[in-house]
Structures are given as structure tokens and as C-alpha cells.
A and B are shown apart, each in its own frame.
Chain A
């Protein structure tokens, strides 16, 4: 009895909150067949939005992966003044609403912002352009690699690294041959979460993008824009593309996994 109640509860929760909305999106997309959906995602605006989203992710994810690993190593393996602050700052993007992040970047780099006049003088445009969108995406997707790697670094301890040092390995050799293999799954999982966040970001990007169709529009913005202009098929079809991107990230991760992981 107990088991059935729990199972039913779990499944209906997932059903109502996850499966139904996602399923509905798929159903609505292909309601009139594959043709209209395909047409909707191959318009110049949709294709451009796709390219913008991929470009942003292609820069933000590697940047946050490299920074995340370095930052996790610093937090776990080093002692330095301000370490507590760094540790707390890393979580800031999780606590802060993306819209606020977007506004903060406007205040900093916008025309009337702190660096605004300097940037305009030197002909650099950050806000309402791709650089600003990349920056806010990096900001909001920053914590994931760090948060995945930190506990694993704690768990593996320092003995293997010390052993490598006594065997004559340099700091970099130790990192590449000992530390990195030990944390690779945590890094991989962090990359998946970072990618998902970067692909799906809406609020912060929305504020700094300026919504210039065919120029500064990501997939998520394109979905909203299509929906607002009553292009429901376009909105749903673009959503499906986003969902498929997320799924393929997860699949790519599981493909990299070796068949037998020995612990």
C-alpha cells in the first residue's frame, strides 16, 4: 500500500509539473505535422537566434569550465585572505535574479553607465550587443562547475597529489595526470549544468540584448518574441529545438563515459 501511494505521488508530481508541459509543447509543435514546424525554425530570424545561442554557449561554457576548475582548486587547496568572500561570491549568481544581473550590467556598461562613455569613445559596444549577452550568460552560469568540483576535491584529499610530488611530478603534471582524472566526472556534470543554464538563460540576456530581431536575439528571446506576436507554432518549434539541444548535451556526456568505471 505504502509503496503504491509513494509511487503515485511521485509520478503525478513529475507528470503534472514536468511531463505534461513538455509533452504539450511537443504536441503543439507537431499538431499540424512536421512541415509547418520545420518552416518555423528555418526562418532567417530563427536560424540567426540559433546561431547566437550556440555562440554564447560556446564561449561561456569553456570560460566557466576553466575558471570553475581553477576556482575550485583555489578554494579547496589554497589558503589566502579573502577565500571566504570568494567562496560566497561564487554562489551569488544562484541567489541573484537574472533580471537584476542584466540591470547591473546596463548600469556598468550602458550608455550612461560607469564605463559607458569610455566604451563609446573607443567604439566598443557591449550592451545591446553580443559581448554583453555573453558576459551576463557567463555570470549566471558561473557557479555550476565550481560547485560540482569542490566536494570531489575535498573527497579525494591531497595524498595522491603529494605522492605525485614526491615522485617528481611538477604542479602541472600532477594536475593533468592525477587531479584532473580524479575530478573529470564532476567537471563533466558541471559542464552539462553550465550548458543547460547558458542555453536556457532568459532574464539577464533579455535586459542587455535590446531585442534586435536577427541581431541580438537568442533562442529563448525568439520563443518569447514569436509568442508575443501570436506565432505559436514558431514559439513551440523553437522551444522544441531548445529542449533537443539540452537532451543532446546530456547524451553527449553519457557517450564520453567509459563502459566500465573502476573506483
Chain B
């Protein structure tokens, strides 16, 4: 295991950001810390980096207990949501910072920085200042800066959170490819379940300072440990004790004994996907996700009668 956190607790005044959290991250993996805001995911990342001191618990990097080490001594690369670019330095100076404070030979620094700028596609920008770059470029610069010192682990705190949707999507794919090339153990924090599912090998889902579930993207979606996980990683309909994903709700024109009658309230066309909002005969609202073809076969129309049956459902013991 490249990163092990054990029994970590961190409080800010009366607020408990981390409540006895333990986490293991395999060497070379790409892990997402996922959760709503205030769930403790950023605090956990900062504790691993040594930027926050936990009240209890230990952090191990590559088998070495670094709990007593300051951030400076931990050898982690850290990327901040708002880039934390050194504003008075050029791109080249930013990226070479870590090597300069380590007093590496000048030739080596130049070579290494050139390589990294090439890698993050900023080769032509080395003499620009951060203020002259776009958000995406600044974040790539911050990533190059973190990678320059060859960190044992790379920690990214909502790295794409401040970027617009298009750049965010682009950088996601790029980060995944970069990780596949470099194999640096990486943890990134996100509140976006789609982002986590798209690029992570392993997702650690947090809520209220605790880990709710750890697993691959598919595992979390198919076998959620509890109600929170189920509703956080995807849309869900609730029928009393049971939870049904909208795509697991079967719609029929005729009843078949297991179905419940309902009425189509509204139909939303989203290209391939069609969302059907329904009201069941007992007055409950729900929605189903069907393909365009299915919608056509069912001849759906607002106000029309429809019969509903869950294909798969989840019931959690509480």
C-alpha cells in the first residue's frame, strides 16, 4: 500500500471534519475521494499531505510513518483547486521551484522543466506569468510543478472544480492518460460522482466525516452499501423501504399482476435518453429512464395511462 491512513480524527472547533477515518490506497492506483461538501474529503487529503494536523491517527507513505513529518518533508505533490500559482513567477520559475529549493544543478532543472512543460502542453508558455494563462493552463502548470520533484504520491484537491464544464471534461481524460503513463499513486478529491466514476480505479465515498463505502465505480453503483451511497452515485426512486434506479423501472402498456398503475405526467427528451415523469395511483411521484425506441413503442403521451414494475430494487437494513 502506498498510502495508509489509520483512525484519523480532525476537528475544527465543534465541527468534526474527520471521524475516525481509515483508508488504504494501492501503489500506482488512481483513487477518488468523493462526497458532498463538508464530508471531510478535502480535510483527509490535506491530512495526508501534512497541511492539516489530525488530533488522532497516523499516516503512512510507502510503509513509512510520516505522521510527525511536516508537509515539506513528506514528498507529496499537491494540486490546489485554485491553482495556488506563484503569481510573481513565470511558468518556468513556477515549475522549477521545487527543484530550486532542493538546490539541483541548473542544467538538470532546465532539462526537467522542459520535459514537464512538454508533458503538460505548455512548452511555448514558459516565459508567461500565471495571470496570462487560462484556468486550464494554470492547473496544468500547477500539476507540472507538483510532478517536478518526483513525488511519491500525487494529491489533487478538486483540481477541476474552478474550471468550466468543457475544459473540465477535457482535463479529466487528460489526467487519466497522464496517470496511465506515469503510474504515480494519485488521490483526487471531487464532489462530482461522474468525474469520480470516469477516471478513478477506486472510489472512497465520504459523508459527515466518515467513509461510507470503498470500491470500484461499478461496485458502488451496483452494490451500494447503504441508502446514502445509492442516492449519491446515481439517481434513485424511493418506494417505502425499497430503492429503484430510474432505468430499472419497467414501463408496460398492459398490467401483468406485478405492476402498479400510473399516469404519465411529463416526457423529457434528452437525445438517446428519455425521462418519463409519472404519478402512481397512490399519489406517489417517480421517474423512469427509457431509451428513445422504448418511448416510441410505449406510445407515451402526457396524461396517458401506464403500468410500472421495478426490474431490480434495493432494500437496506437499517
A contact residues vs B (CB 8 Å cutoff): 159-160, 162-170, 173, 177-178, 181-182, 262-263
Contact = CB atoms under 8 A, between A and B. Distances in A.
Contact of A169 (B72, B74, B129): B72
B86 A166 contact: no
B145 interface: yes
A168 B76 CA distance: 9
B72 to A, nearest CB: 5
B295 to A, nearest CB: 49
Given A181-B88, A263-B87, A167 B146 contact: yes
Interface stretch (B95-103, B181-189, B221-229): B95-103
A28 to B, nearest CB: 47
Nearest to B148: A167
Contacts of A162: 51, 71, 78, 80, 84
Contact of B101 (A159, A160, A173, A262): A173
10 contacts: A159-B80, A163-B84, A165-B71, A166-B51, A166-B74, A166-B76, A166-B77, A166-B146, A167-B97, A169-B72
Nearest to A184: B88
Contacts, number: 71
A163 B72 CA distance: 9
Residue picked from A159, A163, A167, A168, most chain B C-beta under 10 Å: A167
Q: B interface, how many residues as a size bin?
A: 20 to 34
A182 B84 CA distance: 13
Contacts of B129: 262
A167 B149 contact: yes
Contacts of B74: 166
B82 A262 contact: no
Nearest to A261: B88
A166 B88 contact: no
B149 A168 contact: yes
A159 B84 contact: yes
B78 A166 contact: yes
Interface string B96-112: 01100110000000000
B70 A182 contact: no
A164 B74 CA distance: 13
B64 interface: no
Given A162-B51, A263-B87, A167 B98 contact: yes
B91 interface: no
B162 interface: no
B82 A159 contact: yes
A15 to B, nearest CB: 40
A154 to B, nearest CB: 16
Contacts of A165: 50-51, 70-72
A165 B148 CA distance: 14
Contacts of B80: 159, 162-163
A178 B77 CA distance: 18
A263 B88 CA distance: 7
A262 B75 CA distance: 31
